[in-house]
Amino acid sequence: MLALFKEVRFMSSSLLKVENVTKIFRYGFLGFKFKAVDDVSITIENKPMIFTIAGESGSGKTTLAKLILRIYKPEQGRILFMDRNIYEIDEDTFHKNIQPIMQDPYASFNPMQKPTRYLKETARNIAGIKDEREVEEHVAKTLSYVGLNASEIIDKYPHEFSGGELQRLAVARALLPRPKIIIADEPVSMLDASLRINVINLFKKIKEDLGIAFIYITHDLATAYYMSDRIAIMFRGTVIESGESKKVLSKPLHPYTQALLESLPEPDSRKRKLWIEKRIRFSTYIEEEEFIAKGCKYVFRCPYAMDKCKTVVPPYIKVNGTEVRCWLYESR
Amino acid sequence: MSGEDNIVLRANNVYGEYIVSPTISIKAVNDVSIELRRNEIVGIAGESGCGKSTLIKILYGYISYPLTARGRVLINNKGNSIDVLSVSEDYKRENIWWGVVSYIPQNSMNVLNPFMRIGDHFSELLRKHLKIEKDEAYKIAEEYIVDMGMRKDILKAFPHQLSGGMRQRIVVALALLLKPSIVFADEPTTAVDVVLQKVLLHFLMDKQRELRNALTIVTHDMGVHAMVTQRIIVMYAGRVVEEAPTEPLFEDPKHPYTQALISSLPRLGDESPRKGLWGTPPDLKNPPPGCEFHPRCPYAMDICRREGPMFTKYENEWKVRCWLYLKR
Amino acid sequence: MKLAMLLKIESFIKTFKSLLKYKRFRIGLAIITIIAILSIISLFSPPQYKRWYAYPKDRPPQLTSLDMILGTTTNGRPVFWIMVNALTNSLYIGLLTALIGSHIGLLVGLLAGLSHGKTESVFILLIDSFIVMPGLPILIILSLALKQSMTIFTIPLILSIIAWAWPARNVRSITLSVASKDFVTIASFSGIKFFNILLYEIMPYVLGWHLTNFINTIIWAIGMETALAVFGLSILSEDTLGTMIYWVLNYNALFRGLWWWLLPPIILLISIFVGLYLISVSVSSYLNPRLRGGGQQ
């Protein structure tokens, strides 16, 4: 079984493929149904890379992460890991290959248990290390790789750690079984600004040293530029632009991406004049309307909205290697 | 107030502590002195635990158990100099809050009453401070809302019917309604998405330009500071460590903490490798001796571990609190 | 395994010591201790206390002997001995109902919280139907129907039919909220199997609530039995605090001035409720900051 699996690895060109996945939620007593993820397709190549899924709150990026992690089940579409449907992979193999890092380090660990417990369990159950001494060695090695000292950590409870340390612990735990992909959902949003770059640099190091791919979910485009290879921008459940991250973030095609990049306040006061002068027309939009829009979801805010945008969903159009979902780029 | 027409708030040697138990307290604000000037946008920067939110609460005068404060915070109310820390809460409610000094919190629901329509929020404020009738107040509110680019029918809505971004806009509008001369904004755009953040900040800046008030923005987002503020006060572990005009500060920060903070931030279009700070902020129940930053400072010297430094003042109103700049 | 047991006892002692810091807990514990002592005294009851007219009737309290310390009833029985036995029986009913009812509730609540889809809907329907049912009227009807078989052992069973629903709802909502937390996902990705997740991740949170539910069910059950008894629908062959009140009303003791017969059951009932409530409330508030991620002290 494992041998067959290894062969499959060399044959498949994609590490993870999300195919036309839709996830429907309802909230409220009478059930307002909306598509948190609407017909999303993403392909992550089988090589060590950092793939960013970026968007604001309500974009569906966290839902997509949970769909990949099998926390939610899609209503439509399927997700393939190495060409195998993730629901056909047994639990242990799945956990060995895909690992999560959550946004809030304090929520990632049970406040009543010591975090080392989860590291040891991961080493025993997922990495399959039988010998207890080996387990401790492997855990200690991985901890020092992320910059933590095993002996200082071993007896502490989560509240005794700082946010930065605890998040690095979470990274160490995800790293233990040497997975193929790590899904990091806003891993640095809750950390202090001066500590964020440390964790980001750690991800880069892991990708280069250990060949592990990352799916980095964030709303912070600056860190996305700094570390990612490819990026997909999400808006109200759809991917509206995707391609090489440096390209997308320096020459954005979709009006939403453009608006995002123009609004970003940067810690560089030379960009101040431009930021102040370029005005954004504020349109009052209603969230629910945008979710159930028949055509392009951005139509209520888009300065270039045409009649077609209101009724027909734009297809993915390839422009110079970037895929953009916008009628503006039709017939190119 | 020494007759300087320009200064609207002067805080001297302000201390703020949270009482945890009879013997333990968290020294959140430690001997801070600042000045706020008319027609100026000041930013207070710093990361978690630096004391900036506590400082703002103290300057605003909203001090409730377990927070205790001492020091002097002088503001100008109709020609009289008032110490915000020594007048009663009733006095502040009647005369200072909303009318002279305003506070915009991070979470709009800390200000909006879920049982009152938006229009009533406006009219209540207007009627209380301008002593006018309900109809007149409503008309003023309508004009104000339309002027801001929002629809009139928002006034009829209840807070929960609006999106978070909308509510934050309303809160900003309410804070500026009575044209206060001092406005405090505590992380006003953290809970809001990036595009709306720009809209809100532009709105705040436009109003500031129009009313010429003293706007103080507290945020950990250095990007917001770079784009919006004219002067920045950097705090660490309850103290001010550096204070300077914005553009020069970003170009050449003096304090090691400010340097580390600014250089650790990634920017669009720039892939060059960056380094962050290691370690954690100190425990404010038991701060380390000497300079609070010394355990994490790459330039820590012997004296840093023993004594806290004094401020070095430069021309250009630049202040640094660091032994590197003090001549011995 | 033994080490785990020792650690459990150690943490229990630690918890107990922390609870003692709460004034409410100390007061509650003191009251319940007095109640327990009174209950134990019932073991020494003289055999004739059950016989009518074994003592002179309607006598007020006399300090001559323990038997007469609270006087006698219109049936010539010593109030003191009735009281301590009634106390024991009421406590017994309360405890047994709580044991059965709150544990059924725990089980159903756990299953309901962990299930999805149609199974979950079935559980929700089941729990909510029972919660919505008016307890006292149903119990009255049941008692009328089962009048012959109302004994100290069957009353708890009958009460349990209603008692399990609220704990079940409580446990379900705690289970739901804990099961959706991030650390359960992380535990799952650490290879911890479902049963161990239930035991080590979810149960520690649930158990705290289960304890409060247990105590509240005791209070509820004693109250219900008393209510039934006052209607004359409880067991008449044994003494409970409720049946004491029933006889008091039956013989018009209030108007006849027999205060020594009326007051003891009332004072005891109030004491039990207050004592248990104080304990329950202090346990809840002890649990709360811990649930917010305080960890061990």
CATH of the domain at A166: 3.40.50.300
B66 upstream amide cis, omega within 30 of 0:
yes
Asked if the model's pLDDT at residue A5 lies above 50, the reply is: no
pLDDT category of residue A284 using cuts at 50, 70 and 90? low
Sign for the pseudo-dihedral over CA of C15, C21, C27, C30: positive
> What are the boundaries of each domain within chain B?
7-100+180-281, 111-179
- What is the spatial distance between Cα B34 and Cα B14, in angstroms, rounded to a whole number? 9
Å between A138 CA and nearest CA of chain C: 15
Does C15 map to a domain?
A: no
CATH code linked to domain B7-100+180-281: 3.40.50.300
Share of chain C above pLDDT 70, in %: 94
Pick the closest to residue A221 from A59, A60, A48, A52 (CA basis).
A52
Asked if the model's pLDDT at residue C136 lies above 90, the reply is: no
Q: How many domains does chain C have?
A: 1
Residue C247 belongs to domain with CATH number: 1.10.3720.10
User: Which residue out of C186, C202, C291, C296 would a mutagenesis test of the A interface target, given it has the greatest number of A Cβ atoms within 10 Å?
Assistant: C186
Residues of C in contact with A126 (CB under 8 A): 189-191
Question: Which ranges constitute the DSSP H helices of A25-146?
Answer: 61-68, 91-97, 105-108, 115-121, 132-145
Residues of A in contact with C290 (CB under 8 A): 111-112
pLDDT at position C48: 81
Asked if the model's pLDDT at residue B328 lies above 70, the reply is: no
Å between A240 CA and nearest CA of chain C: 29
User: Does the beta-carbon distance from A118 to C187 stay under 8 Å?
Assistant: yes
User: Does the beta-carbon distance from C186 to A102 stay under 8 Å?
Assistant: yes
Average pLDDT, chain B: 88
- What are the residues whose beta carbons fall under 8 Å from the beta carbon of B64, sequence distance 6 or more? none
Å between C215 CA and nearest CA of chain A: 24
Interface of B with A in 89-148 (CB under 8 A): none
Residues of A in contact with B118 (CB under 8 A): none
pLDDT category of residue A29 using cuts at 50, 70 and 90? low
pLDDT at position B163: 79
- Return the partners of chain B (3 or more C-beta pairs < 8 Å): A
- What is the spatial distance between Cα A13 and Cα B180, in angstroms, rounded to a whole number? 63
ipTM reported for the complex, 2 dp = 0.87
pLDDT category of residue B139 using cuts at 50, 70 and 90? confident
pLDDT at position C3: 63
Pick the closest to residue A185 from A173, A198, A171, A197 (CA basis).
A171
Does C53 map to a domain?
A: no
pLDDT at position B3: 43
Angle in degrees, 0-180, between the axes of helices C241-250 and C79-114, rounded to the nearest 10: 130
Encoding tokens for residue B36? 């706020």
pLDDT at position B152: 82
Residues of A in contact with B230 (CB under 8 A): none
User: Does the beta-carbon distance from C187 to A110 stay under 8 Å?
Assistant: yes
C235-255 average pLDDT score: 86
How far CA C236 is from CA of C141, C241, C262, in Å, comes to 17, 12, 17
Share of chain A above pLDDT 70, in %: 93
- What is the spatial distance between Cα A276 and Cα A273, in angstroms, rounded to a whole number? 5
C182-193 average pLDDT score: 92
Interface of A with C in 137-196 (CB under 8 A): 157-160, 170, 173-174
C196-212 average pLDDT score: 87
pLDDT at position C31: 92
Q: In what order do the strands lie in the sheet with A84-85?
A: A32-45, A14-27, A76-81, A84-85
pLDDT at position A10: 55
C195-221 average pLDDT score: 89
Pick the closest to residue C234 from C149, C130, C164, C135 (CA basis).
C149
- Return the partners of chain C (3 or more C-beta pairs < 8 Å): A
User: Which residue out of A266, A301, A302 would a mutagenesis test of the B interface target, given it has the greatest number of B Cβ atoms within 10 Å?
Assistant: A266
Does C57 map to a domain?
A: no
Query: Residue C280 belongs to what domain range?
Result: 25-43+66-294
pLDDT at position C127: 92
User: Does the beta-carbon distance from B194 to A264 stay under 8 Å?
Assistant: yes
Note the pLDDT tens digit of each residue in B195-240.
888 888 988 898 899 989 999 999 999 999 999 999 999 999 999 9
CB-side neighbour CA atoms (13 Å) of B21: 3
Is residue B202 less than 8 Å (CB to CB) from chain A?
yes
Does A213 map to a domain?
A: yes
Select the highest-mean-pLDDT range: A18-27, A225-234, C191-200.
Answer: A225-234
Query: Residue A184 belongs to what domain range?
Result: 13-329
Interface of A with B in 16-55 (CB under 8 A): none
Instruction: Nearest chain A residue to C183 by CA: give it.
Output: A108
Note the pLDDT tens digit of each residue in B267-293.
888 888 998 888 888 888 888 889 999
Does A6 map to a domain?
A: no
pLDDT, greater one: C61 or A200: A200
Asked if the model's pLDDT at residue C292 lies above 60, the reply is: no
Average pLDDT, chain A: 88
What Rg value do the Cα atoms of chain A yield, rounded?
Answer: 21
pLDDT at position A18: 94
Å between A108 CA and nearest CA of chain C: 4
pLDDT at position B258: 94
Q: How many domains does chain A have?
A: 1
Does A58 map to a domain?
A: yes
pLDDT at position B189: 85
User: Does the beta-carbon distance from A263 to B195 stay under 8 Å?
Assistant: yes
Lowest mean pLDDT among A98-112, A273-287, B27-41, B179-193: A273-287
pLDDT at position A176: 92
Does C58 map to a domain?
A: no
Lowest mean pLDDT among A1-15, A306-320, B10-24, C41-55: A1-15
Asked if the model's pLDDT at residue A7 lies above 50, the reply is: no
Share of chain A above pLDDT 90, in %: 57
User: Does the beta-carbon distance from C181 to A107 stay under 8 Å?
Assistant: yes
pLDDT, greater one: B303 or C14: B303
Phi, psi of B323 (to 5 degrees): -65, -25
Asked if the model's pLDDT at residue A98 lies above 90, the reply is: yes
pLDDT at position C186: 93
Does C91 map to a domain?
A: yes
How many C-beta atoms lie closer than 10 Å to residue C297's C-beta? 8
Interface of B with A in 297-316 (CB under 8 A): none
pLDDT category of residue C9 using cuts at 50, 70 and 90? confident
Say whether the B–C interface has 3 or more Cβ pairs within 8 Å.
no
Asked if the model's pLDDT at residue C107 lies above 80, the reply is: yes
Does A147 map to a domain?
A: yes
